[in-house]
Chain A
């Protein structure tokens, strides 16, 4: 991949301030135009990709329609394996969503300003993953048209949901998570929609972006209030993201099934969720960065940092695997021991178990090395592997535990039907239809945040140069590196 020589240099310099963002780009107007240009550019490649995703989404629609018409008996589910592909897909998608909130909310609270270049894309991924995640439990209800029975409303039947069950918790958690993610995403988007309004060619586009920009003027009063609320929303989203996958994990851990009934589940699920989502962020970001020539906005520093996060969460996940297996053995409980030491590693789905363990534990170890953390081919391959392995992890947790529970006489093998596969593959299509639409019509790099980031980097560099005065200093060449030709 072609990188400007300066960026490589900057990355490898140990003392460099961690923001080589947008150094090689022109002035603010040129930067804005570059970041907004995908909204005005027609592209054949886009249509091809959109059409392929559309076909896959069609597969989802066909499979979902078949499910509703024929009932969930058309799936491979049986008793005891009453939860299988649908719940695996649900946990997988919702977990992927977590990385978007992690990047946009966690990192802003921690003052990690580099997130500016990637947060919009990650947040959009969250939203689209949640759209998919929400569909699976609803389809799984069997009579999805009655899904509103899960909501507490004064019905004529005088019945209420049972809030001691984990399912109404799920409804509350997912509905809240989707709503808050949407509000957070839109709030962040408003200044960029205003920029799109003011740069759009043609009256129709100006009007459409103008309506969505709500009349944003960039006034100092507006920015102040906006800054406060954006931080508050980030502060709300941070505990929320932890609560959501914790609640999802409670679907399992409040049951008594060996392999599910474990106190480690909430943190284990949250870590796994962020891990899988970061992999998907990379998977989406690398091609976008390449296709739209965003190497100066999404720099090697970003890749390096996300890879480090994958390594950190991957290590926590490996620790969770170790811990739950150890506790199963240490508990002395024969059913726990059977699930962890026989059913999973030696049972009918042992190959999935070993594949997912190998990938999830070993692949992130590559990221101990900086060379590999910034190698786009390695990053892409690793992220696809992790992305798939995390689906397998949820499959192992759900299916191997259900398949062989306490009574051998009730054991039953599980095999998915074509409808199960159709829903899984189709949901990936649904995701990409939404994602490509997003790339086409929404400013997918936060323009104003990148401009602000660049302004602050430059201000700091100028300050350093001014402070150094005429004295030769080691920091000086680096500070100069961050300014444009004219400013030096």
Chain B
């Protein structure tokens, strides 16, 4: 056996062209592989469906954060100027809604943007300066001009051989197991 069961076999294939990578990705998906991941130097939205991801929940969390930010911002103004220390300026209303709108809006945007930013990196589990893929010789080109596919759920040597055939046909330069030296 190429892998022991406990090793969670994962293979990576390197491609020189984005088109070759997308072709391989579709072929792998058609062959029944579901644990797929790509590494590309730029965003390729067309390959996303093949990864079989769930709809992101983050936008809802951001919307909720924005709503809470707005409520808190209005509450601060109301509390400060109408409740805790009612400020009578020439008999004008102490809770004037139009005057409180600018800061309420800014509070909404600020809270939403902060949650969007930190939510992004928390959901991606970053910062994580080390990752097993970084150990692969030549993987640093994944941010420059090389396109990688990572395949999990490879059950046997037979499986691995079939997988190699698929990606080689699509134009893979090489196939390497994760955590070992390349072949």
Contacts and interface: CB of A to CB of B under 8 A. Distances in A.
B47 interface: yes
Nearest to A180: B113
A222 B148 CA distance: 14
Contacts of A152: 76-77, 80
Contacts of B87: 160, 162, 164
Contacts of B68: none
Secondary structure class of chain B's binding surface, majority of residues: helix
B92 interface: yes
A169 B145 contact: no
B106 A164 contact: no
A187 B129 contact: no
A210 interface: yes
Secondary structure class of chain A's binding surface, majority of residues: helix
Nearest to B102: A169
Contacts of A176: 106-107, 109-110, 113
Interface residues of A, number: 63
A227 B56 CA distance: 11
Interface in B66-122: 66, 73, 76-77, 80-81, 84-85, 87, 89, 92, 96, 99-100, 102-103, 105-107, 109-110, 112-114, 116-117, 119-121
A448 B145 contact: no
Contacts of B37: 219-221
A219 B81 CA distance: 49
Contacts of A310: none
A243 B140 contact: no
A163 B53 CA distance: 46
B51 to A, nearest CB: 5
B102 A236 contact: no
A355 interface: no
Given A183-B113, A226-B120, A232 B62 contact: yes
B173 interface: no
B1 interface: no
B103 A194 contact: no
Given A28-B144, A173-B106, A455-B18, A232 B116 contact: yes
Interface in B140-158: 140-145
Contact of A218 (B53, B130, B142): B142
Interface in B1-23: 18-19
A180 B56 contact: no
A305 interface: no
A227 B116 CA distance: 12
A382 B36 CA distance: 53
A134 B150 CA distance: 47
B51 A221 contact: yes
